[in-house]
Structure 1
Amino acid sequence: MRRLLLFILPAAAALFGIAGTTGAQHLDVPYVPTPYDVVDAMLDVTGVGPGDYVIDLGSGDGRIVIAAAQRGAFGHGIDLNPVRVKEAEENASNARVNDRVVFIEGDLFEADISNATVITMYLLSSVNLRLKPVLLEVLKPGTRIVSHSFSMGRWEADEHLVIDNRHVYYWVIPANARGRWGWSTNGRGFSMEVNQEYQKITVNLSAGGRPLTIENPSLNGERISFTALDRSSGERYVFSGSVNDGTIDGKALIRGTNSRIVENWSATLTGR
């Protein structure tokens, strides 16, 4: 994944520049830390733990990254204010997690966030909207994102929590399943078209040229699943797999009137 420039305005967690045609312009914004109960909720909803790499966009005093490290994760925070960075480093040392975290002084214009498994942020709504396409392009499918206070417009949150009148929004980066797919299962040829808006998908599926009825289509990270009913034969197909670059690999459960078969499912992208 290529490094992209992130254009981020601070809201309540740090000081950042605003991109312009002549470069970054400094903007002072009062630092307002995320309350600890909200920090806990943000890390709970993302399931942060060992094996995670957490990046906090505007890390302030470091409390989110430090709390993540106390749960076994690694991570780093980015903040423009050197005073905040020094404070975060001291807090990490006092919490005895300084071997698991790094705090970087700087804005996010040159930040590489592609290795994150979890992104945390407390920004403005307008900034979230500008950041959204970057997150979708740079982050791997399955990466979890959590935002304090602000949503991302038409990208509906997978979960929305309210803690003491404070809002927490949670998303999972979806794989790109959009397009036309083909495969054979149980001796039948299948043709599928997937339409997608963020994690919401609709599926049109036919077998041997005959349309099937689709139930419960779902895309969560790289995981896709749906049920297909052939009303003429009474067969029901349950497909579940992982979307990769041009392929879907998983299992197909076929239920007939008096039979139940499980087969490998391997679909190939035939066009966008």
Structure 2
Amino acid sequence: MNQPLLEVRDLQVSFGRRRAEAVRGVSFTLEPGERLGVIGESGSGKTVTALSVMGLLPENAHVRGSVVLDGTQMVGLDERGLSRLRGDAVSMVFQEPMTALDPTMRVGRQVAEVLRLHQGAEAGPARDRVVAMLDEVGLADPERVADAFPHELSGGQRQRAILAMALINSPGLVICDEPTTALDVTVQALVLAKLDEVLDASGAACLFISHDLAVVSQVCDHVLVMLDGRIVESGSVARLFTAPEHPYTRGLVATAQLDRVAPGTRLPTVEDFYAEAGHD
């Protein structure tokens, strides 16, 4: 029987001396090429879960459980081992590209750095591959983009440059953490469409983190719903939209379908969902 690309088992993450719990017994698997969404409000534990996979949690994090990526146990792996995997076996697209990009370096050089670190690529061949990758993620005039500094690009262009950086080494897994939150609706749709296209072309699996079920539904087939550090429901996007079971999931679906709500209808609040679910 084939092993999943990513297997998370009873992941528990707490912080500080008081051991404030952020993730409480999360378990899931991700198959090669699969696209799995993780949704939930701020503080639900979805980003901490993603950072656990990357080994990017701060020093005051206490991690228990198991995170196996392509046969390698990530929990407890030293920094040297993690560095070999980041940007190669697994890569991450962050929410705000201006904080992910070095403002003092041209974009092409930053993307090429990934090739140099993991493949020892020389400057000339690396430049050619960078330009080709920038073109693949839908950036017009990729030569100009490669020579630009981050502040010379729009938000949508910067996010696609980050996507190029994440994909250039053909990782098996791409983690996207709220990759379109900082973009306006029109640019968001363009970036999501391009993400969908390049994932199809590369065959990479995707773990897509968001608070918005409607956004996740554009990229993913299956979804995990997180609340208070736990997975409270999982299933296909189609099933969650049509027959959500958990009261919190019903709330998320309601917010994604506001155009179907009759004027004057009282919308349920987050407190309603917490009360029905038995949470404080």
Fold shared per TM-score above 0.5: no
Higher Rg: 1
Query: Which one has more relative contact order, counting CA pairs under 8 Å at least 6 apart?
Result: 2
Report the TM-score when normalising by structure 2: 0.29
